[in-house]
Chains A and B, each alone.
Chain A
């Protein structure tokens, strides 16, 4: 690399970062050429931000640096979190930054910014940048940050956890556009992120930071061979017919009631031992639907039944019997524990409520068993929730769900608070439990690839409507709906063929809700919401042009 005639714009040699005598980054050596896209992956606290800050020339105070780091040309760092000054209109901040670097006046700066936004595919109608950033949607805020970097035109761009918190579909699309721009303009681009953030997708080279060392990332594990599962036979345990969820928004001037519909009439079944993945982007209503099926709270319309019995008609005792069989895993396990009761006391209260058949003197035994099943030791029972780590809290949540020996679990983004490695272990334990106990799982998640690999069937939701449902294999290999394809492409690290973000439910477009983002959209799409039609046995799609390649 060093023998090239033009030295690469970013080059470090045995760069070591120390805090006191603790080595945070150990002899990192890397070179990034012009037009090259490098991804640096590592878990939380691996030192990605430290490395990027050192390269950007903004080291943290108290960090010593040895070895050499050379960065040529103008360099920009998009810092973690992508926060802009929250209350100042974005146009103002853009003009200030672009003007500072290029010496342009306000209107010329804003023209450059507009060009950059064009390149990132933001339609002019969506540019609401006279607003302060705290009123912009997240996707637009990140796009604006990237556009700001493009407008300045650096030689080196360092992005720390770019697009974190965005939907994978939106994030991957943006990252690919950024990478294409870097390649086309001979910019050295470094993307840092956690392995699950998909920063490796658009990069040409991936390095992993582990225990302070920067090493080539191991090739991704081949996706496990899909074992055809045999669950999902017989009568459904849990079934929803025409389930809808809506909220009152007050009244209009004419006195008519305004409602925001988060989930439109949806049918869904979950058979004994079956795993169903409920996929969708943020705001698609998957969590609302999952909770409505567990009557937490009850849906606004439609009927949910458990083993043929209508839940709405059940009395308190009947409902308790259903809850004993149907438990839920929460997205933030720590928040789902009462902070003023010990873990053991909470579990005992639940056991008392749901399993009155277990005598009081055998409750402790049952709690210890459930904790052990969830991968914890019984000594955790006397602890307070605030002293639990994220992993422990997630496993306590699992133990709580297992406590009454349920037959079905509703999982709302289970363990979303864990890092990738911890989550994988948690997921494996959950799947092991499912197989051992023949649990039925309803898995609401935004990780399409991961969700489908372990499921029998998948349902894809878009703005509260099912747009595709099929067996997991059929979805993984023959998805027809543009949204499903985009979600799967994002899961593989490829560029999803969708533009922009999901619109707000308050301003839903006419016709197909995907129309403004869809590459196949035609004029007819704005006229009618596509209905779900069966295109193959067991495979339903709601798209006017599903057969268009």
Chain B
């Protein structure tokens, strides 16, 4: 107690992260209006507005690919838990092996080799983030399955279906959500990395990573700072949000 309550501290950080993310998303949405009331062409915009415009691409792609990765990872973990011991061991072994590989490198490679459509990029990013989600979600599910209140529910004669509906799902919701949220910052980082190398989101869709990469190549510090800062803030917000969900 003297060391401060970690729960409330984490909860506060999660709330702050939500606020920051909401503000960022709002700013990116209204950025075109901020310039001169109409949609502007990106090249003559001042760097801050351009970065905000890029944010629309980066954030919506991170949301899309992150949700896809979360769904893939959660499906992986749930399937592993449901399919019996041997399948569980194999599937989670595979996830752990994949975790040890630099999967993020596959994102620019896939974009470069296959010609970079948004759909393909999202699929690659989702596949690269899924093992981490699967490993965490599986650990949470395993811990949940061992909890004593499930034995108590069996002692009350509840059927397995009722236990699943009344006890397992309500208790699994939050940890699974937290595991899934892990995919969001990873998806944003993966996309930014690929775009930075020029092998990410296709040119008409702006992205923070792409602008940072371009500015670095051109040696334009003024153009580099705003997207880099916004990217850092967004990454912090997404990470803090995912951690806050984990309690």
Using a CB–CB distance below 8 Å, which chain A residues touch chain B?
Answer: 291, 294, 296, 316, 319-320, 323-324, 327-328, 330, 332, 335-341, 349-350, 353-354, 400
Contact = CB atoms under 8 A, between A and B. Distances in A.
Contact of A324 (B148, B153, B157): B157
A338 B157 contact: no
A330 B151 contact: yes
Given A330-B151, A353-B157, A400-B152, 17 more contacts: A296-B151, A316-B159, A323-B155, A330-B152, A332-B148, A335-B148, A335-B149, A336-B148, A336-B149, A336-B151, A339-B149, A339-B171, A341-B166, A341-B170, A349-B158, A353-B156, A354-B157
A338 B153 CA distance: 9
Interface residues of chain B: helix, strand, loop or mixed (majority): helix
26 contacts: A291-B151, A294-B155, A296-B151, A296-B154, A319-B157, A323-B156, A324-B157, A328-B155, A330-B151, A330-B152, A335-B147, A336-B151, A336-B152, A337-B152, A338-B149, A338-B152, A338-B153, A338-B167, A339-B171, A341-B170, A349-B166, A353-B156, A353-B158, A353-B162, A400-B152, A400-B156
Contacts of A341: 166-167, 170
A349 B152 contact: no
Contacts of A339: 149, 171
Contacts of B153: 338
A296 B158 contact: no
Contacts of B157: 319-320, 323-324, 353-354
Nearest to A403: B156
Contacts of B166: 341, 349
A219 B153 CA distance: 44
A340 B154 CA distance: 17
Contacts of A296: 151, 154-155
Nearest to B158: A353
A350 B166 CA distance: 12
Interface of B: 147-149, 151-159, 162, 166-167, 170-171
A327 B147 contact: no
A291 B154 CA distance: 12
Nearest to B167: A338
B141 to A, nearest CB: 16
Contacts of B148: 330, 332, 335-336
A320 B155 CA distance: 9
A217 B72 CA distance: 63
Contact of A349 (B151, B154, B155, B156): B156
Given A340-B170, A349-B166, A354 B156 contact: yes
B171 A338 contact: yes
A41 to B, nearest CB: 26
Nearest to B2: A62
What are the 10 closest A-B residue pairs judged by CB atoms, nearest first?
A320-B157, A350-B156, A323-B157, A336-B152, A335-B148, A336-B148, A338-B149, A340-B170, A353-B157, A328-B155
A336 B155 CA distance: 11
A337 B156 CA distance: 12
A471 B155 CA distance: 29
Contacts of B171: 338-340
A310 to B, nearest CB: 17
Nearest to A410: B155
Which residue, of A296, A336, A400, has the highest number of chain B Cβ atoms within 10 A?
A336
A433 to B, nearest CB: 18
A354 B151 CA distance: 15
A337 B153 CA distance: 9
B236 to A, nearest CB: 30
A340 B149 CA distance: 11
A354 B152 CA distance: 13
Contacts of A320: 157
Contacts of B162: 353
A132 to B, nearest CB: 24
Nearest to A354: B157
A334 to B, nearest CB: 9
B206 to A, nearest CB: 43
A434 B155 CA distance: 20
- Which of the listed residues B147, B148, B155 has the most CB atoms from chain A within 10 Å of its own CB? B155
A335 B167 CA distance: 13
B155 A337 contact: no
Nearest to A61: B2
A296 B154 CA distance: 7
Nearest to A248: B85
Contacts of A294: 155
B198 to A, nearest CB: 46
Contacts of A332: 148
Nearest to B89: A250
Nearest to B168: A338
A429 to B, nearest CB: 20
A53 to B, nearest CB: 16
B148 to A, nearest CB: 4
Nearest to A337: B149
A392 to B, nearest CB: 16
B114 to A, nearest CB: 42
B172 to A, nearest CB: 10
Nearest to B153: A338
A328 B154 CA distance: 11
Nearest to A349: B166
Given A339-B171, A340-B170, A349-B166, A327 B149 contact: no
B158 to A, nearest CB: 5
A353 B152 CA distance: 13
Contacts of A323: 155-157
A338 B149 CA distance: 6
A332 B147 CA distance: 11
Nearest to B169: A340
A336 B149 CA distance: 4
B83 to A, nearest CB: 17
Nearest to B150: A338
A328 B151 CA distance: 10
A327 B155 contact: yes
A502 B78 CA distance: 39
Contacts of A337: 149, 152
Nearest to A340: B170
Nearest to A320: B157
A327 B156 CA distance: 8
B113 to A, nearest CB: 42
Contacts of A335: 147-149
A319 B158 CA distance: 10
A49 to B, nearest CB: 15
Contacts of B167: 338, 341
A353 to B, nearest CB: 5
